Every structure is written in C-alpha cells, then in structure tokens.
Chain A
C-alpha cells in the first residue's frame, strides 16, 4: 500500500527536471511537487534520481522475498509433485466423490481392543507393548478411490487401526493384504495413478501407458509379480495385513531396530472361491465380515519382524529375507462393526506418522508421502463433509447383520 503510494508520487517527481530549475509557469506546481515529495517521502538529503533507485531497490527486495515464498510453495515449479497434484491425480483416476477418503474409499468401522503379550516390550518402550489392554478403533477397506466399487477377491484389502494409549499418546497404522507395496516413492505412486487413469476417449485405462509405466519402474514390475502370487483368502477376517513400510522400534535405553509388522488372523485360512460374489452382493466382503463379527469376535496376532542391518528399510517394494526373528506382540480382538456413517473411524485419519514414543519412522520416503497425502485427503473430505452421500455399507446393512 505504502510503497505503491510512494511510487505514484515519485512518478510525479519524474516531471521535475531538478530542484530549482522550474520555469515561471511551472514554479508554483514545482513548489507543490516539492512539498508533496517532502510530505510523502520525508525531507532526507536524497536526490530525485536516488529516490527512484532506492524505491526500485526496495521493490526488488520485496519481490525477491515474495518469489522465494512462491518457490517454496511450489507455484513456480509445475513439474514438482505437490499434495495438490497428488490429489488431482486421485481425481483423474477415480472421479470426484465428495466427502470420501481419496484412497481406500470404501470401508467399514470396527472396534475392539489389543491385548499385549509383553513380548515386544524389550524392543520398544511404547506403552502399547506393556502387558495389558488398550482400546482400538479400526477400519477395514478396499484399496482404490471408488467408494461404491463392487467387492472382488483380488482387490487389495486393508486394515487400519488406532490404538488409544494413556497420556494422549496414540499409534495409528494402515496395513494391506499384500506382501510388498507396488511402488517405493511418491513419484512412483503418482505415475502409477496416472497410468491407471481412464483415457478420456475410451473411458478405460490405456494399456500402453501402463506398459510404459512398468518399463520405467522395474521395481513395480517385480513387486506386482510377488503381489500376484499371494494367497487370496475368502474374506477380511482371514486375511493377513502387512505394514509394508519399515519402522523403528526404540527400547528404553534408546537402542533402535528396524521392524515391519503384520496382523495374522487367528481365524482359519480358507482360499477365496473362484465364484463371483454370492447372490451378486456388491458388498459381500464387508457383509461377511460384519456377520462374522456379530457371531464371534475376530482376532489377529500382531507379529513383529525384526530386520537385520542390510535389510532394506527405504524400499517397500522389497520383501525382507525369510527367517528373520519374529515376535508375537499380542492379540487384536475386534468385537464390533459399524457403518462409516456415524461410525467411530470416520473422523479419524489413519496417518502412519501418528506414532507413540517407542515407535519411530524409518527412512522410507513413502511414510512422509503417505502422511502428507492422507492429511490433504482428510482436509478435503472434512471440507466436503456436508455433501457426502451415505457410504456403500450403510448403518441399516450393519444392523441387519451384514445382509444387504
């Protein structure tokens, strides 16, 4: 404001050849201008030319600071992968679904508790591993940003958990029923989203783009081969869910070890039937889970795998070698299911960087990427909350015991 005003009055000053050289006619005007100058710019011993140079310097200094701010904010770098561009890629791939999570959009809330065995307490000082119980609020979901997609055996299933610990501490984790993650970087994830987005001309993903993506990302091609080979079970209740990313457990003495963890079902494993969903139930995976929980609490054992020095912690596409030491940290019991609409998991962001003292992030770049993207997704759906339609698995469906 102030600077613009000064620039305007200096523009007026430009008409003044120099102090004291005004013509008869211009005498009065010149004097007025001089008064104006001393009024707005002060009466310092600075010549008109110097005033202009100095105003220019001030403007340049301000512009540099504003430019640095814009650079850091990503506005000057169209190629940089930002949170907004990641969200735009989700929109391109899945369409707009107001009020839903941008990924793992179709889900159901569950709750129960975790009973620690005490066996992991020597590895991590986290309160969750001391013998005893902590309440858990969780969410089962299907990967992908489409909240009304039809359940199918091969679709990636996820389990997200929030362990509520004493003293305002928390542990949140999101796990998938795949052995490794398909990508190892935010850029890889973004490129995969773009490659799997429907082509506007055909409405279907372009196989050539996916082929080009896989050629550029050999780590994804290798990971997908492992993912394809996994045993697909009959439902959520007998699926094993893996952390995929590595973390670090820190003990009371401050010593840390790399870990990955899994939720391994206590329920007997049965292979998924080759038949499509029973009686054409679009939500059969969720309905089965709801019915099973209503019948009997469902349980998983938290198995912590301790990595060795050479095991990759920064690349989620790579499995750790077999035979690593494993610790049975305790048992998760899920005894209640509810729809997302009004359910306890809906307003929770299962951000993988919400960790209690005793669990720390590894050097895996996906952890920051996931945290940043989850938070942006959470912000967007919070803004859209008032326009969100009912979730696929409704309260009535849960009430009816999972039969839709």
Chain B
C-alpha cells in the first residue's frame, strides 16, 4: 500500500478525535435543549468549551488538509457517489466551522457571559440584539439537525464503502 491510499496519521487522529467530540456535542446539545433536570447545568457547562475546542481543531484541520491532502477516491466510484462524497465532506467542514461561531455569536447577541471554565470567558463577537439572537438561536438548532443528518449519512456511506463496495475508502481512514 502506498501512502496515497491512506490518510496520514495526523489526519486520522484529527478525524477520530473530532468525530467523538462532535457526536458528543450533538447529543449534549439535543439533550440540554430538552432538559429541565439538574443535568442541564452540567450539559451547558460542557457544551460551551467543547464547541470552542471543536472550532480550534477545525482550523487546525483545514490547515492540515492543505498540508496533507486526502487520498483520491477510487476511479471505480460512480460520479453520483463521487459528487455525494465531495458535497457531504464540504458540508461537514462548513458545519464544524460555522456551528461554534453561530453558538458564540448567539450567546453574544443574547448578552450572556460566554463562560469557558472558571474565570475564563470569551468576549462577545456580536452586539446585544434580541432579533439577532432569535435568528441565530433558530439557525443553531437548524444547523445542528443538518449536522446530525450529514454525519449519519457519512457514517452510512463509510459502512457502505467498507462492507459493500470494499474499495479501500473506509480503510483509508479506519486502519
């Protein structure tokens, strides 16, 4: 196997670390938005710093993608599946970049202090504005559902490559 058929170690570490963080983030998000239980406070306290950590890792990952471009998809892949793969990856990158910013901006527009941990706080990135808050708050929810749906499709497609096409695409990231 040449290095062309497999993601470099840095890319794989970034992918799997962020995969765990983002899946945790989506479950924490949907859970805390429904909860009035005493778990709510803890979930919110995790959600904020985890979101910022995902944002920082996302920036690193974008830089890494230029340094370590992903291996080419197999030539045998039909063009429709190729387009779906490219589009879903673009969506995933766009969402992991934009979601933390929408969250940060939404807390700014609501004038909530953006607490990371203990005394550590982030400055607001948008003015205190109720209309802006309402818009960003709904956008945050909408994008979260889109994010979850895209990850689900990504998960299904990875299994499809690994179990059915068996074309080495899953192995390029999973081994």
Contacts and interface: CB of A to CB of B under 8 A. Distances in A.
A93 B84 CA distance: 49
A343 B126 CA distance: 20
A42 B110 contact: no
Nearest to A44: B166
Interface in A53-72: 54-55, 57-59, 61-62, 65-66, 68-69, 72
Contacts of A167: 121
Given A58-B156, A357-B118, A382-B134, A371 B41 contact: yes
Interface in A7-46: 39-46
Nearest to A346: B130
B163 A372 contact: no
A367 B148 CA distance: 30
B68 interface: no
A41 B40 contact: no
A372 B47 CA distance: 14
Contacts of A168: 113-114, 121, 123-124
A385 B167 CA distance: 54
Contact of B152 (A66, A80, A369, A371): A66
B159 A58 contact: yes
Nearest to B74: A42
B69 to A, nearest CB: 23
Given A39-B78, A72-B30, A386-B131, A61 B40 contact: no
A391 interface: no
Interface residues of A, number: 62
B111 A379 contact: no
B137 interface: yes
A369 B30 contact: no
B76 A43 contact: yes
B36 interface: yes
A199 to B, nearest CB: 25
B121 A348 contact: no
Name the residue in B33, B164, B166 with the highest tally of chain A Cβ atoms < 10 Å from its Cβ: B164
Interface string A356-379: 010001010101110111000011
Contacts of B3: none
A385 B130 contact: yes
Contacts of B137: 379, 382-383
A400 interface: no
Interface in B83-100: 84
Nearest to A314: B38
Interface residues of B, number: 51
A47 to B, nearest CB: 12
A2 B148 contact: no
A170 interface: yes
A84 B33 CA distance: 9
Contacts of B142: none
Interface string B64-81: 000000000000101011
A268 interface: no
Contact of B84 (A2, A44, A383): A2
A54 B38 CA distance: 41
Interface string B19-48: 000000011001111111111110010000
B27 A46 contact: no
10 contacts: A2-B81, A3-B157, A44-B164, A58-B160, A73-B30, A81-B37, A83-B34, A170-B113, A371-B41, A383-B134
Interface of A: 1-3, 5-6, 39-46, 51, 54-55, 57-59, 61-62, 65-66, 68-69, 72-74, 80-84, 86, 167-170, 186, 346-349, 351, 353-354, 357, 361, 363, 365, 367-369, 371-373, 378-379, 382-383, 385-386
Interface of B: 26-27, 30-41, 44, 76, 78, 80-81, 84, 110-114, 118-119, 121, 123-124, 128-131, 133-134, 137-138, 148, 152-153, 155-157, 159-160, 163-167
Given A168-B121, A379-B133, A385-B134, 10 more contacts: A1-B153, A3-B156, A6-B160, A43-B76, A65-B152, A66-B152, A72-B31, A373-B36, A382-B131, A382-B137
The 3 closest A-B pairs by CB, nearest first: A42-B165, A44-B166, A382-B134
